[in-house]
């Protein structure tokens, strides 16, 4: 199995206390007995997420921009998963912060790797976003990796810049990189105390606590929602495959799901949900999005296995058991 290459490797995860990050930490420790170094300033997360793992990991509470704070681990790590990012919901409010966290942090790590040339490093995995594709035009097929970027937010602009830095340094300095464009990841472990946890996270919290679901606009806007376990499996597989060096992959399902459809699915599990309609916000400027995973399927053999109905059911079941722990 390709992922066996991770067994007992030393791994750095920036943003490792975040939603995707802490799930990745658990998988790497539980499945591969990795030595994991988590770098996170916990501005949108909490060490409590990994309280049961603190004796098994190294936690460095520092800003990802502070490369000097974790430089000793960069020298002898096998893999770097760079997940730290600013939130799309606040990217327009704090554009310089967005630029620093999403792009400058990538550049600083790349510059260090260029100058130090660590022999052990097998891969630098950078997580990007399907937001770089913008909006689907009428009759357009799902976006693939060759689709032209259509930048409609500060977040998308800085994520694309991060990608370009990575590909440039891969070409000029032989740093082995892999870029993953996540599409609306959801599932276990999103913190509801973080107001930017995503539409599905907010819907599930409100459904379980009896609050109304807030819909901006007519609810017909669509996204491509990817279950957390699928995203983690794709991330691990892409890190260890030799076919993925210096490649970009969409991590998605290829399916458009509207906000109204999400509500209909939730109502099957939690009847009598109330819905409040509000005007569109400036950040809701994407009407439609679906993202093709054909490339990663063809090259690495990955495909999503959890559809949206099953994913919502599994997520609801998990939160019913853990709701008090994560509030």
d(CA 106, CA 128): 11
d(CA 183, CA 130): 5
Helix (H, G, I), strand (E, B) or coil at 220: coil
| Domain boundary assignment for the chain | 2-188+226-254+290-306
Name residues whose C-beta falls within 8 Å of residue 305's C-beta, 6 or more positions apart in sequence: 230
What integer pLDDT is reported at residue 45 of this predicted model? Answer: 85
Percent of the chain having pLDDT more than 90? Answer: 70
| Residue pLDDT, tens place only, 222-281 | 999 999 999 999 999 999 999 999 999 999 999 999 999 999 999 998 888 889 887 776
Helix (H, G, I), strand (E, B) or coil at 38: strand
The DSSP code sequence of 157-214 is HHHHHHHHHHHHHHHHH---EEEEEE--EE-TT--TTSTTS-HHHHHHHHHHHTPPEE
| Residue pLDDT, tens place only, 178-231 | 999 999 999 988 876 665 567 888 888 888 888 999 898 889 999 999 999 999
The kind and range of the H/E element at 128 are strand 123-129
| Residue pLDDT, tens place only, 150-172 | 999 999 999 999 999 999 999 99
At the topology level, CATH places domain 2-188+226-254+290-306 in Rossmann fold (3.40.50)
Instruction: Calculate mean pLDDT across residues 69-88.
Output: 94
Percent of the chain having pLDDT more than 70? Answer: 94
Q: What is the DSSP letter of 143?
A: B
Name residues whose C-beta falls within 8 Å of residue 93's C-beta, 6 or more positions apart in sequence: none
What integer pLDDT is reported at residue 63 of this predicted model? Answer: 97
Answer for the pair 27, 239: CB distance below 8 angstroms, yes or no. Answer: no
Answer for the pair 182, 231: CB distance below 8 angstroms, yes or no. Answer: yes
Stated pTM of the model: 0.94
């Amino acid at each position: 199995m390709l992922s066996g290459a991770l067994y007992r490797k030393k791994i750095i995860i920036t943003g490792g206390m975040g939603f995707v990050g802490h799930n990745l930490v658990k998988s790497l420790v539980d499945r591969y007995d990795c030595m994991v170094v988590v770098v996170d300033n916990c501005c949108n997360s909490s060490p409590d997420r990994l309280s049961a793992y603190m004796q098994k990991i190294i936690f460095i509470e520092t800003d990802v921009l502070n490369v000097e704070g974790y430089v000793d681990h960069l020298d002898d790590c096998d893999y770097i998963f760079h997940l730290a990012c600013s939130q799309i919901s606040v990217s327009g409010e704090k554009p310089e912060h967005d630029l620093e966290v999403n792009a400058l942090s990538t550049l600083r790590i790349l510059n260090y790797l260029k100058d130090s040339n660590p022999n052990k490093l097998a891969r630098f995995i950078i997580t990007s976003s399907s937001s770089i594709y913008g909006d689907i035009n009428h009759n357009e097929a799902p976006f693939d990796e060759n689709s032209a970027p259509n930048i409609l937010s500060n977040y998308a602009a800085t994520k694309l810049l991060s990608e370009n830095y990575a590909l440039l340094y891969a070409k000029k300095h032989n740093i082995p990189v892999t870029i993953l464009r996540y599409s609306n990841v959801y599932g276990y472990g999103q913190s509801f105390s973080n107001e930017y946890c995503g539409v599905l996270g907010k819907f599930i919290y409100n459904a379980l606590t009896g609050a109304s679901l807030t819909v901006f606009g007519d609810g017909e806007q669509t996204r491509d929602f990817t279950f957390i376990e699928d995203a983690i499996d794709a991330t691990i597989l892409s890190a260890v495959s030799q076919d993925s060096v210096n490649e970009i992959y969409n991590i998605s399902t290829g399916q458009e799901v509207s906000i109204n459809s999400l509500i209909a699915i939730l109502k099957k599990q939690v009847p009598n949900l109330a819905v409040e309609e509000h005007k569109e916000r400036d950040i809701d400027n994407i009407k439609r999005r679906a993202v093709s995973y054909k490339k990663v399927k063809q090259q690495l053999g990955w495909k999503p296995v959890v559809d949206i109905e099953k994913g919502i059911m599994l997520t609801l079941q998990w939160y019913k058991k853990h709701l008090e722990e994560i509030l």
